[in-house]
Structure 1
Amino acid sequence: MLNHLIRFVLVGGGATLLQFVLLFIFVEFGHFNKIFASALSFAISAVFNYLMNYYFTFASEKSHIETAPKFIAVAALGLLINSTAFALLLVVMPHYLFAQLGATLITLLVNFLLHKMWIYRS
């Protein structure tokens, strides 16, 4: 379990970095609405997250047909948690990247537990 947690954190860190970079690009250069930019960057990083967790973190032997629908359900829940927390934190945080950091931390624990105990459980 510790090995999975370490890999999960590494993959999650990479996905989070990707999400923050995309958020910055969408807001600063694309002039997207901040909440939409957060949701879009979350969705794109979720694809990266799925593939890396499937192959690297959990080395799943299950088919994508079995794991992908579960992941999509978890990602949709994560998107809901992330977007709601981001929108609420955006009101009180001095910068949108701080709001995203708070939203990311809120989403992290739920995502790990659902990945480990439901999507990739052996």
Structure 2
Amino acid sequence: MSLRILERLISRQLMAFLFVGGSATLLQFVLLMLLVEAFGSGKVVASASAYLLSAVYNYLLNYYITFDSQQSHWATLPKFIVVVAAGVVVNTSVFAAALPYLPYLAAQIIAVVAALVTNYFLHKFWIYRRRE
């Protein structure tokens, strides 16, 4: 594979990854606001629900579009579920802790950052860990 083709692939994949992640975060905030403002859901439950729904969106788009995975869902889904479970625990815990002190959208921003850090380390040191 030539360097030029590799650069295009990486660039396309990186752009797709950033788009999917950004749009999943936007979806999470839209769902949170919709659940709280339109349906009167409790903020903590709405935050956890929005996180889980946006995680499914994120998984499907990354699986089919960003990485065009050839692995079966049986191979990829178990690790995804563990990462999402850890992420939703961190997101919900940080959100609930910040909520008494901040407006709910500001609390969600802090929770998203905390979940992002957690997800990064789980991906780096567990899912994509280099075997030596």
Normalising by the residue count of structure 1, what TM-score does the alignment of the two structures yield?
0.86
CA RMSD of aligned residues (A): 2.3
- Cα distance in 2 for partners of 1:91, 1:3 equals 42
The runs of at least 4 aligned residues of structure 1 exceeding 4 Å deviation read 1-6, 116-122
Q: How many residues align?
A: 121
- Cα distance in 2 for partners of 1:72, 1:35 equals 20
Give 1 or 2 for the bigger CA radius of gyration.
Answer: 2
- Cα distance in 2 for partners of 1:107, 1:80 equals 8
- Cα distance in 2 for partners of 1:121, 1:14 equals 26
Structure-2 change in CA distance of 1:48 and 1:4 (3 Å): same
Gaps spanning 5+ residues in structure 1: where?
A: none
CA contact (8 A) 1:67 1:119 kept: no
- Give 1:40's match in structure 2, choosing from 40, 49, 53: 49
- Cα distance in 2 for partners of 1:2, 1:92 equals 41
Normalising by the residue count of structure 2, what TM-score does the alignment of the two structures yield?
0.80
Higher relative contact order (CA 8 A, sep 6+): 1
* CA deviation string 1:86-110 (max 9, x = no partner): 00111221x1001001100111132
Aligned residues with identical type, % of pairs: 50
Structure-2 change in CA distance of 1:113 and 1:59 (3 Å): farther
